[in-house]
Amino acid sequence: MRNPPRHKRLATGLSLAVLLACAQLWAVDSVVLHLKNGDRLTGTVAAENSTNLIFNAGLLGKITIPISEVSKREIVPASGVESLPKPQSNQAKPSVTNSPATTLATAIPANVSQIPVKPAAPAKPKRPKEWNTELQLGMNLRYSTADAREYLAAMKTTYAHEKVRQTFDYNFTYGKTEQIISANRMTGSSKTDLDLSKRIYLYNLGGAGYDEVQQIDLQYEIGPGFGVNLITRTNFVWKSELGFSYQDKFQSDQTEHITYSARLGELVNVTLWNKIVADAKVEYFSNLQSPGDYRLRIEGVLRYPIFKNLSVNINVIDLYDTLPAPGVDKNDLQIRSALGLKF
């Protein structure tokens, strides 16, 4: 057999070289997309932006997939591309349009399921603080012709939950003037409120204490009633209460006095200029056994905040009793200052 001419052998060699070069150009690396729903797609990436990618999936054609649905990409060299299994006859080929308006539209085959995005849960409102406590400490000193020293401590704790409010009050004062006791008293009280509506509430009030200067060895009282929220504003609150009071008082002269009274109370809270807060409470006890006799208690507190939880307080308490112990004035006025700490 005669060999082909030399120029034909050269042309054949050049043709084979061109074909090999074209094969190298056309051999693009394949990509395996691992979707979050567990499916995998093999093909090449035709285009991609920050939110979607257009994927050439071979027989499935070009499809647009949200990047958020892709959990992993795997690059497969061109020499190792595996043939994609022929799709089933009942698998529908997705319709793809190349118009600019729909290039980024999501067109995913039936085996690629959309993962629903759950809306973010709304932020829960901050639960109101149920316990609040204020501690007051004060000291009044005077060094003159008659030296005087007085120390006081007071604590008020409130608890509020839904329709129930509980208030605990404690006061202690001790003082001397020229080595003579000028103040030695301690009182404590507890008041429970139960809201029946936005304006009406029931209450029960109890308290006990002693006062050496007023010659009261021990006294305690208790009484229920109801109240009305007359005005409720952010800077002004006014409540009015009506109820009954039972008091048992043991005096230093070894006598005991039991009193049944009707109680009328007025409570006011006002926020003044520059965050100054004023509290006022007036309690009038009318003696049901002796209509001409009564007890009156007026208490006022003026608070000026120094820091967030620290304030300067001025307290005024006036006690009036038409039936005092022998040798004791009917009126007892107390004015004192203290530092208050809230927590």
Q: What is the pLDDT of residue 12?
A: 54
On whether residue 170 sits in a domain, the answer given is: yes
- By the 8 A CB rule, do 321 and 295 touch? yes
How crowded is residue 249: how many other Cβ atoms within 10 Å of its Cβ? 19
What is the pLDDT confidence band of residue 164, given thresholds at 50, 70 and 90?
A: very high
Per-position DSSP letters for 72-102, written without gaps between them: EEEEE-GGGPPPPPPPPTTPPPPP----GGG
Q: What is the pLDDT of residue 200?
A: 97
Do residues 217 and 324 share a domain?
Answer: yes
On whether residue 239 sits in a domain, the answer given is: yes
Distance CA 74, CA 63 (A): 18
Do residues 302 and 158 share a domain?
Answer: yes
Number of separate domains in the chain: 2
Q: What is the pLDDT of residue 5?
A: 54
Distance CA 332, CA 321 (A): 9
Residues paired with residue 62 on neighbouring β-strands, in sequence order: 56
On whether residue 113 sits in a domain, the answer given is: no
Do residues 165 and 279 share a domain?
Answer: yes
117 Cβ partners below 8 Å, 6+ apart? none
CATH number (domain holding residue 266): 2.40.160.40
- By the 8 A CB rule, do 31 and 75 touch? yes
For the record, the structure tokens of 250 come out as 């043991």
Do residues 235 and 333 share a domain?
Answer: yes
pLDDT digits (tens, 9 = 90+) for 49-93: 888 888 777 666 778 888 888 888 887 665 444 444 444 444 444
On whether residue 60 sits in a domain, the answer given is: yes
DSSP code of residue 29: P
How crowded is residue 323: how many other Cβ atoms within 10 Å of its Cβ? 13
What is the pLDDT confidence band of residue 35, given thresholds at 50, 70 and 90?
A: confident
Q: What is the pLDDT of residue 170?
A: 95
Distance CA 230, CA 234 (A): 14
Do residues 168 and 263 share a domain?
Answer: yes
Do residues 91 and 200 share a domain?
Answer: no
Do residues 157 and 89 share a domain?
Answer: no
On whether residue 118 sits in a domain, the answer given is: no
Compute the Cα dihedral for 210, 215, 218, 222 and give only its sign: negative
Least confident span in 111-115, 143-147, 246-250, 312-316:
111-115
What is the pLDDT confidence band of residue 310, given thresholds at 50, 70 and 90?
A: very high
**64 is in which domain, residue-wise?**
12-102
On whether residue 115 sits in a domain, the answer given is: no
pLDDT digits (tens, 9 = 90+) for 168-208: 999 999 999 888 998 999 999 999 999 999 999 999 999 99
Least confident span in 12-26, 72-86, 95-109:
95-109
End-to-end CA distance of the chain: 112
Do residues 338 and 242 share a domain?
Answer: yes
Q: Is 154 exposed, middle or buried (0-12, 13-18, 19+ CB in 10 A)?
A: buried
On whether residue 213 sits in a domain, the answer given is: yes
Distance CA 86, CA 7 (A): 45
pLDDT of 326 strictly over 50: yes
CATH number (domain holding residue 97): 2.30.30.100
Q: What is the mean pLDDT of the chain?
A: 80
On whether residue 332 sits in a domain, the answer given is: yes
Q: What is the pLDDT of residue 23?
A: 44
Least confident span in 6-10, 131-135, 190-194, 235-239:
6-10
